[in-house]
Chains A and B, each alone.
Chain A
Amino acid sequence: MFNFQQWVNRRIPPAKEVTLTQRKIFILPSKISMGLMMIIFLLFLVGINFQNSLVYIVCFWLIALLVINIFYTYRNLSGLTIKAISAESCFAGEKMVLELEVSRPVKQRKSAIYFGWQNEDLVELNLQEEQSTRIKLSHSSKQRGRFTPPRLDIFTRFPTGLNTAWSYASMDVQGIVYPEPIEISQPSDQHNSDDDMTDGREISGGTSDFAGTREYQPGDSPKHIHWGQYAKTGDLYTKSFVDYESQDIWLDWQSLNISGTEPRLSHLSAMIIEFHEAHKQYGLRIPGKEIQPSKGEAHKIRCLTALALFGLPQEEASYAG
């Protein structure tokens, strides 16, 4: 049997950028247009029975309107270029946000075009004055791992609602779905629990935390001069800073007393968020991958991505960027 979905998949392969052309646009009369067809039929009967030319004219005009409409609705969709910008990463169970850039041909204004998925987000797009715009669509994510948003439905009924023109866009864009953060209470590992609350050793001459002032010495960075003090006293003082070298916290797969891969990943995911928010330095050790202790946004993402892709087949290099 003919499988429409498979046929569409073959016809519209995934791409980073897609322009809706004739071969990609489908169009059918909408259900409500049956009402107009009935009216047309009635008018034809009236025209015959009363032999009234003007009734015929209205009847034929409506037929022509139905036909012309196909072109209008088609044109409202055709030529639209959809470019995948990004798929933002998210935690499993959250909404993944897909960002698209949609642009129109120069002279064709576009109205009331809908982008979305069934039972998911739906966004209406109008391109009147501007040539292109960016839209964000969210799609729910269930499993950790790489996530490619499903084929996007794009449809419009403009201008009259008598026809529905639609198309699909498979966006070749991937987001990472991190394991859902679920902290599981467990008898803590000795090594970790000891150091959890200590701040670690101070490293003087740092740049992060304000530690006090001292007299200015030539060579001090002007950035660090305490101008407020200078205003009051007339002497130059230099602010001194310290960095903390926290003791490395290791999030270690082996030391977790949790059974099952996914719960472990979920727990690690929760811990990463917790440490990140507490500005702590942490490292991640999971089978096959070790990430040295560090901190900051990029580090967090690296760790979470490692968790998300744990045990999944290696992706081709082209998606690494």
Chain B
Amino acid sequence: MLGKGYQLSQQVTYRGMIWLLAAQLVVMLPFAFYLPIWLIPVMLASTFWRIRVIKGESGQPKLVVRLFVIALGIAGVMFSGMTLLSLDTMVSLLLLGFAFKSLEVIRQRDALVVVFIGFFLVAISFLFSQSIPAGAYGIFALIILTGALIANQQSPAQQLSQNSTRSSLKMASAMLIQCVPLMILVFIFMPRFSPLWSIPSFESHAKTGITDTMAPGDIANLSKSDELAFRASFTGRKPAADEMYWRGLVLNHFDGKSWQQLPEEYDTDELKDQLQAIIPWKRNSVEVKGEPFRYEVIYEKTGQPWLFTLTPTTKVDGQTIQFGDYRVMSRGDIQSPLMVNAVSYPDSKRDLELTEYARQSSLQLPSNGDEKTRAFARALRADSSNDADYVNKVLRRFAEKAYFYTLRPPLLGDEDTIDKFLFESQKGFCSHYSGSFVYLMRAVGIPARIVVGYLGGEWNKNGDYLAVRQYDAHAWAEVWLEGEGWRRVDPTAWVAPSRVEGGLEAAVDYEGSFLEGNLFSTHHFKWLDGIREKMDALQYGWRRWILGYDNESQKNLLKSILDKMSSVPLAALVGALFLGIFLLWFAMLGLLGRKTYEAYEHQLYRKFCKRMEKHGILREPQQTPYEFALIASEKLPNKANVIRDFSTLYQQLCYVPGGTAEREAPHQKMRKLLRELG
């Protein structure tokens, strides 16, 4: 074993220190977006101070000063208004420690520790953002950190050479690239565990997307955003435009102005037991029919637990709960992209029998108000042969009378909003139409409810997946009919069929209100569509294969590999592929190839010495090639020229940086001379 006691210089060199500081800055920079902004000047000041120390412009800070600075930093973190034991606080403290650590880096060992903490922080920054740019920046930071590691091992002499920075960078990049195959293998095959202990929620509770109340105008607000809600990819059958009703929440309670969920329906913690007790999710309440949709959805972070699926969903995996009203929810608020696999049978019959609770909650109406509507409903029902006929009559009214679909509806005030909409303004969008439809149903005792979710989505070019954006938000209705169960009804479709077929953009094309107020949305620029499409596909792949790679995906992947392995040629192919990757990898590492360690010119020179030996001229080890050539040419005067030329070439190759004067093929020339020697 290699012991101690070597007279090795352990000090960090000037260049090593500069590298270290650069790496520190690179690591700390992204935290500026998430943590108190004052950390930045503190970190910069610490770096600047250290640079002054290396340049000899100021002394190494004394212990007292260091302790004071650290205390100040901790106090700063404490008073920044962050929760005491939150991740933010801990990361801030870690960052401060990281920034101050460089002040006391003197020995190489300390430099290595700084780099290690840097690696840790790069990973920690991904707790704050997992976007593609953040990932790319992370790779950049890893390269710089590895470069700092290398620069701290280079000798001062080597660091003085002009391209030392470039060579460190090059080496760091090469090393990290060569790490990739192994990293991917570990990433794919390393078992994934579920969280070991519960972690304090640290992300901001900003909620986006559809919420659990629907006042008139809410969904119009969403329509101003082109943010992504989720992406879905299908295996097998793909839904048609009028089948893409992504069902999210059920709004049962109407207070005269807005629709919302009943408190006991959305408080997830209580819901788990309570609601299931009230409306037990019975398998046999769905009469499964028709062809299923099998799909995979990756939901963006919303800070809310609602999931959107094609209903009725019979099978859904992951951390989800299914409810009696066919909702699917996540077990917690969605704080990072969530991937879910689901199976839906859209042609099924739902709830041929209605539970008492469901009947009551889907018949609720305020005790008074909207008298005109109630009277109208009663009259129309009396005119109809049955409930189904009444539903059709109401819908036909929407289609035939002068109702308009607009994202700029007039304000309806606080009272009798249904009356005002149905008989006065007659202008509105999905929430108006679905709201008044459900009201008209309930007014005559037909169970009905509002469903909010998304309608449609945009297929990417290859049709691999569907991107659903906030402006696809939609509200429709479900009405319960004897013998049929719940039927989906979209009154908006009767007013503006283009909303279903062509999406919101088509439906409001005439008034130009699509993404109004969002002037910089790329959706306004048709020529950007190609780029947008590509970016979107990239995002999807990133979400699907990297961020979304979990226990479930691992199982599926391994299973599909094993399934396919059953056929021998395929197994051979996969085996060959793996072998190929490994060979390529080893080649990259330079582990293959000729095992000759000796440079070719040394081999040739060795041959030359052997020839000389035959002539009785022995080379002493301390003789330089030049000295030996002199002696040899004295003894073999007729070969003197050859000996001299050969030795000169050899010496040039060995000792002259940059090689010989004869660039073309010194080795070939050496071989030729050797032959001449005979």
A residues sitting closer than 8 Å to B (CB atoms) are: 4, 16, 19-21, 26, 28, 32, 35-36, 39, 42-43, 45-65, 67-69, 71-72, 75, 78-81, 83-86, 99, 103-106, 108, 111-112, 114, 116, 118-122, 124, 126, 128-133, 153, 155, 157-162, 164, 166, 173, 321
Contacts and interface: CB of A to CB of B under 8 A. Distances in A.
Given A46-B124, A55-B123, A106-B599, 19 more contacts: A19-B598, A36-B119, A39-B119, A48-B192, A53-B548, A56-B187, A61-B179, A64-B179, A67-B179, A111-B154, A122-B6, A131-B599, A153-B2, A159-B153, A159-B171, A161-B149, A161-B152, A164-B2, A321-B620
B179 A68 contact: yes
A75 B590 contact: yes
A221 B372 CA distance: 145
Q: Quick one: which of A69, A106, A112, A126 has the most chain B CB within 10 A?
A: A106
12 contacts: A28-B1, A36-B116, A36-B119, A50-B195, A54-B130, A57-B187, A58-B126, A61-B176, A105-B598, A105-B599, A116-B7, A128-B161
A306 B666 CA distance: 47
Contacts of B127: 46, 50, 52, 55
B183 A63 contact: yes
A130 B175 contact: no
Interface string B589-614: 11100001111111000000000000
B590 A68 contact: no
A63 B158 contact: no
B182 interface: yes
A130 B651 CA distance: 11
Interface of B: 1-8, 108-109, 112-113, 116-117, 119-120, 122-124, 126-127, 130, 134-135, 138, 142, 146, 149-150, 152-155, 157-158, 161, 171, 175-176, 178-180, 182-183, 186-187, 190, 192-197, 199, 336, 546-550, 589-591, 596-602, 620-622, 653-658
B654 A32 contact: no
A128 B591 CA distance: 20
A65 B158 contact: no
Contacts of A28: 1-2
A65 B175 CA distance: 7
A68 B195 CA distance: 30
A81 B598 contact: yes
B196 A49 contact: yes
Q: Quick one: which of A47, A61, A75, A78 has the most chain B CB within 10 A?
A: A61
Nearest to A173: B621
A85 B182 contact: no
B197 A122 contact: no
B165 to A, nearest CB: 14
B113 A126 contact: no
B653 A131 contact: yes
Top 7 closest pairs, chain A to chain B, by CB: A79-B597, A129-B657, A64-B179, A54-B126, A58-B123, A64-B182, A118-B5
Contact of A65 (B7, B179, B620): B179
Given A35-B113, A56-B187, A160-B150, A68 B601 contact: no
Contacts of B150: 158-160
A60 B123 contact: no
A161 B120 contact: no
B599 A104 contact: yes
B155 A61 contact: no
Contact of B600 (A106, A108, A173): A106
A160 B622 CA distance: 36
Contact of B116 (A16, A35, A80, A157): A35
A72 to B, nearest CB: 7
Contact of B120 (A21, A39, A86, A162): A39
Contacts of B621: 16, 83-86, 173
B149 to A, nearest CB: 4
A16 B550 CA distance: 58
A86 to B, nearest CB: 5
Given A61-B176, A116-B7, A118-B5, A51 B187 contact: no
